[in-house]
């Protein structure tokens, strides 16, 4: 049964080996011999409908990718606990020395909609409930700014404003803050629309999201 459930993935890997890998063999060889040198860190949602390489037409080696529920960034916390997203941010900024960080939210985000639902804690969702706390600031901001608006508009606004809060959280990381102030690292807030494939970016001077093609 397990094999049947992932048969399309197994078949896809076979196609990859025989076609895509073969056609890009030299590039993969270069990446092995020279190591990775991505220019951007992409922080996106784990949602299966959002594929960073696909929506940016990126090639292997172009993006260092972090994916988690809601494309959230926890504020810097210098304790010795396990911090997967934090460690990946530090690695990208301090070791790989990326020049850009993109936080990309998206429409119809399950994490954002979950912020507006009452979820009873159980032994099976405690980590999820804790993680969703990272979206509470965006929720409060949205409810204040969009008072009286339809639920769908509030959710859409929350998706976007959450991206801004995650950018602010990135600046709590010492290496990120230092390099931004030095002018060697640039932060970008994006929102991807599943329905039409459009990406909007946050214009920090105008305090609004604009279509990426206008940048």
Rounded alpha-carbon distances, angstroms, from residue 194 to 85, 113, 114, 156:
24, 15, 18, 12
Please compute the mean of the pLDDT values over residues 97-113 and round it to a whole number: 98
What is the pLDDT at residue 16? 93
Q: Does residue 1 carry a pLDDT above 60? A: no
Question: pLDDT tens digits, residue range 13-60?
Answer: 999 999 999 999 999 999 999 999 999 999 999 999 999 999 999 999
Task: Let me know: does 209 contact 202? Beta carbons within 8 Å.
Answer: yes
Q: Does residue 116 carry a pLDDT above 80? A: yes
All domains of the chain, ordered by start, with CATH?
Answer: 1-35 (no CATH), 36-214 (3.40.1050.10)
Q: Does residue 149 carry a pLDDT above 70? A: yes
What is the band of 180 on the pLDDT scale with cuts at 50, 70, 90?
very high
> 0.85 exceeded by the pTM?
yes
């Amino acid at each position: 049964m397990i094999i049947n459930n992932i048969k399309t993935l197994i078949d896809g890997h076979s196609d990859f080996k025989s076609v895509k890998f073969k056609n890009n063999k030299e590039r993969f060889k270069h990446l092995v011999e020279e190591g990775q040198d991505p220019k951007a860190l992409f922080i996106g949602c784990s949602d299966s409908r959002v594929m960073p390489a696909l929506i940016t037409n990126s090639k292997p080696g172009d993006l260092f990718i972090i994916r988690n529920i809601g494309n959230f960034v926890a504020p810097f916390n210098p304790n010795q606990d396990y911090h997967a997203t934090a460690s990946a941010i530090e690695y990208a900024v301090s070791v790989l020395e990326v020049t850009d960080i993109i936080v990309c939210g998206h429409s119809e985000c399950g994490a954002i909609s979950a912020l507006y639902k009452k979820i009873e804690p159980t032994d099976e969702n405690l980590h999820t409930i804790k993680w969703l706390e990272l979206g509470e600031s965006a929720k409060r901001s949205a409810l204040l700014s969009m008072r009286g608006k339809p639920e769908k508009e509030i959710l859409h606004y929350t998706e976007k404003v959450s991206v801004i809060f995650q950018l602010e959280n990135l600046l709590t990381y010492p290496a990120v803050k230092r390099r931004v102030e030095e002018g060697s690292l640039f932060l970008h807030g994006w929102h991807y629309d599943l329905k039409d494939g459009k990406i909007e970016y946050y214009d920090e001077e105008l305090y609004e999201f604009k279509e990426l093609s206008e940048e």
